[in-house]
């Protein structure tokens, strides 16, 4: 498996050069370099005996075998200035598994999918590819990018038919996605792999603290209505709330202060809030508790508080039977078993609404992702291939 894993890593690094930016890896929805990715992967897939086509959402799809289908998929697009493995490694592992099967007969068909879009970079909406797969993409077609080009126009410019995007919809017996963890948990444990039990629900809000701007040298401390001081006090409570519950993530990642001058009291502060957890009731209760705390701080400091909810994404559990089959494959191949919640969103969370889904995480060295230093070890890829082969050889497709 080491040889196959080394070839997979090398292929990912080669594909990283197929980019809109000659000095960095950037690949957005149906950009010209995506055609290079499609062509190179298509040639490889066909050499493995797969029947390959590109659907009208721009997803690269290759099928082999007969019977109920197991989907192996991840995404081909990237964030700007990306690494070489987020998304694409899952597609490369999937094709490598087909190659390793070398024509062995299975009781089901395999379909490998490279989704056209997951990151939401070009159009501000993510999961175009996987939403098309479950029949939920037609409403996205009028959305435009910063140049006024719609998703519909981008599909047409690529030589596809946006009027047939509904034909990308499919059904299948199951869905499996291989993906780098994009975080430090597996490295901290010293484990190469993990079974994903759920993808965390997300709450995203913007809070605005409104006080009064004034001179920093002439306004006594007890007469100030400092919005930044209020926000700072509240941020402490955000961190404390997350630390009080294992696995809960709460982050203030963005702040805008006004007038943001060295010698002025800030009268207005916009602060973001991002809360993620596998249990929606705890996530929502945490958000409410933090809003109550923000109101109390604002009242005590004689400030106004307003907030806007930008996202309330429910947690998505993975299919228990598939997750258990992955866990059995990890144990059977001699690797330590760990189960975890994904704090990041993935195509599996979209597909799981229609098709039983599972995910296998690979360790991310340094916990780094969405960055040129993103990496993966050949040994961990070999472990994923071993687990994947055991899973494929032992999985029994339900009748669908």
Three-point CA angle 265, 270, 275, nearest 5° = 135
pLDDT single digits (tens) 147-182 = 999 999 999 999 999 999 999 999 999 999 999 999
Interhelix angle 320-332/378-394, rounded to 10 degrees, is 120
pTM above 0.75, yes or no: yes
The pLDDT of residue 376 is above 60: yes
pLDDT category of residue 399 using cuts at 50, 70 and 90? low
% pLDDT > 90, the chain:
97
- How confident is the model at residue 148, as a pLDDT? 96
pLDDT category of residue 397 using cuts at 50, 70 and 90? confident
Q: Which residue has the tokens 């190659």?
A: 99
- How confident is the model at residue 146, as a pLDDT? 93
Cα separation, 358 vs 206, whole angstroms: 32
Residues forming CATH 3.40.630.10 domain(s) in the chain: 2-199+315-394
pLDDT single digits (tens) 249-276 = 999 999 999 999 999 999 999 999 999 9
Query: What is the mean predicted confidence (pLDDT) over 117-146?
Result: 95
DSSP tag of 162: G
- How confident is the model at residue 383, as a pLDDT? 98
Query: What is the mean predicted confidence (pLDDT) over 130-146?
Result: 96
- Residue 9, C-beta contacts closer than 8 angstroms, at least 6 positions apart: 376, 378, 381
pLDDT single digits (tens) 11-31 = 999 999 999 999 999 999 999
Domain 2-199+315-394 homologous superfamily, CATH: Zn peptidases (3.40.630.10)
Domain 201-313 indexed as CATH 3.40.50.2300: no
The pLDDT of residue 145 is above 90: yes
Interhelix angle 2-15/88-101, rounded to 10 degrees, is 140
pLDDT single digits (tens) 31-87 = 999 999 999 999 999 999 999 999 999 999 999 999 999 999 999 999 999 999 999
Q: What is the chain's mean pLDDT, rounded? A: 96
**Residue-by-residue DSSP string for 111-160:** EEEEES--S-TTTS---HHHHHHTT--GGGTT-B-TTS-BHHHHHHHTT-
- How confident is the model at residue 103, as a pLDDT? 76
- How confident is the model at residue 105, as a pLDDT? 87
- Ramachandran area for residue 36 (φ above 0: left; ψ -120 to 50: alpha; else beta): alpha
Strands 255-258 and 174-180: unpaired
Residues forming CATH 3.30.70.360 domain(s) in the chain: 201-313
- How confident is the model at residue 400, as a pLDDT? 47
pLDDT single digits (tens) 306-344 = 999 998 989 999 999 999 999 999 999 999 999 999 999
- How confident is the model at residue 228, as a pLDDT? 98
Query: What is the mean predicted confidence (pLDDT) over 120-131?
Result: 94
């Amino acid at each position: 498996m080491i040889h196959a894993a080394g070839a997979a890593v090398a292929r990912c690094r080669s594909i990283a050069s197929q980019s809109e930016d000659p000095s960095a890896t950037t690949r957005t929805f149906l950009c010209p370099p995506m055609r290079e990715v499609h062509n190179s992967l298509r040639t490889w897939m066909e050499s493995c005996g797969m029947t390959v086509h590109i659907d009208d959402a721009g997803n690269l799809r290759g099928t082999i075998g007969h019977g109920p289908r197991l989907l192996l998929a991840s995404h081909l697009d990237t964030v700007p200035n990306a690494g070489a493995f987020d998304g694409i490694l899952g597609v490369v592992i999937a094709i490598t598994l087909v190659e390793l099967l070398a024509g062995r007969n299975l009781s089901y068909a395999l379909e490998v999918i490279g989704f056209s879009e997951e990151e939401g970079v070009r159009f501000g909406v993510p999961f175009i590819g996987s939403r098309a797969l479950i029949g939920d993409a037609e409403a996205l077609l009028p959305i435009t990018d910063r140049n006024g080009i719609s998703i519909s126009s981008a599909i047409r410019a690529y030589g596809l038919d946006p009027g047939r995007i509904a034909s990308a919809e499919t059904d299948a017996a199951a869905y499996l996605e291989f993906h780098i963890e994009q975080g430090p948990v597996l490295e901290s444990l010293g484990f190469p792999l993990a079974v994903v039990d759920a993808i965390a629900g997300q709450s995203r809000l913007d809070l605005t603290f409104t006080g009064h701007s004034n001179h920093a040298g002439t306004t006594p401390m007890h007469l100030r209505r400092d919005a930044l001081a209020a926000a700072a006090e509240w941020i402490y409570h955000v961190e404390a709330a997350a630390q009080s519950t294992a696995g809960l993530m709460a982050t203030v990642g963005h702040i805008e202060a006004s007038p943001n001058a060295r010698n002025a009291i800030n009268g207005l502060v916009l602060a973001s809030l991002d809360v993620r957890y596998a249990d929606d009731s705890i996530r929502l209760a945490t958000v409410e508790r933090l809003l109550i705390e923000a109101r109390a701080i604002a009242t005590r400091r004689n400030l106004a508080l307003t907030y806007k909810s930008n996202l309330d994404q429910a947690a998505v559990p993975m299919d228990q039977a598939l997750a258990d089959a992955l866990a059995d494959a990890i144990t059977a191949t001699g690797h330590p078993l760990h189960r975890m919640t994904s704090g990041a969103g993935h195509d599996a969370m979209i597909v799981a609404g229609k098709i039983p889904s599972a995910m296998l995480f690979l360790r991310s060295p340094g916990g780094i992702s969405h960055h040129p230093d993103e990496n993966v070890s050949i040994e961990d890829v070999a472990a994923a291939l071993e687990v994947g082969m055991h899973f494929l050889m032992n999985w029994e497709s339900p009748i669908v």
